[in-house]
Copies of this chain bind each other. A is one copy, B any other.
Amino acid sequence: MFKPLDPLLHSELRLAIVSLLVSVKEAEFSFLKAKTGATSGNLSIQIQKLYEADYIVIEKSFKGNYPLTTCRITKKGIEAFEQYVEAIKSYLGK
């Protein structure tokens, strides 16, 4: 009937992050922040959670003098997202 929803993706912000990363393959912290409207703190925590689950990789470098955090989705992340999409559909009717 209803497929279980991956709790890691069933979060407005984390779902938005993963949704973006699926389409762009690489995104800077500031890009994710702008696109999602999240606060820095919230974004920082949520990307860490996605990282801990191996849904994304986080690369830290410098852009000029400033620190730069770049995120990329993993194979596992893509699969989890695709599964989530299928699962949520079971709740949406029709």
Contacts and interface: CB of A to CB of B under 8 A. Distances in A.
Interface of A: 1-2, 4-5, 10, 12, 15-16, 19, 22-23, 35-36, 85, 88, 91-93
Chain A binding surface, main DSSP class: helix
Nearest to A89: B92
Nearest to A81: B93
A92 B92 CA distance: 12
Contact of A16 (B35, B36, B91): B91
A85 B5 CA distance: 15
Contacts of A35: 1-2
Contacts of A36: 2
A61 to B, nearest CB: 26
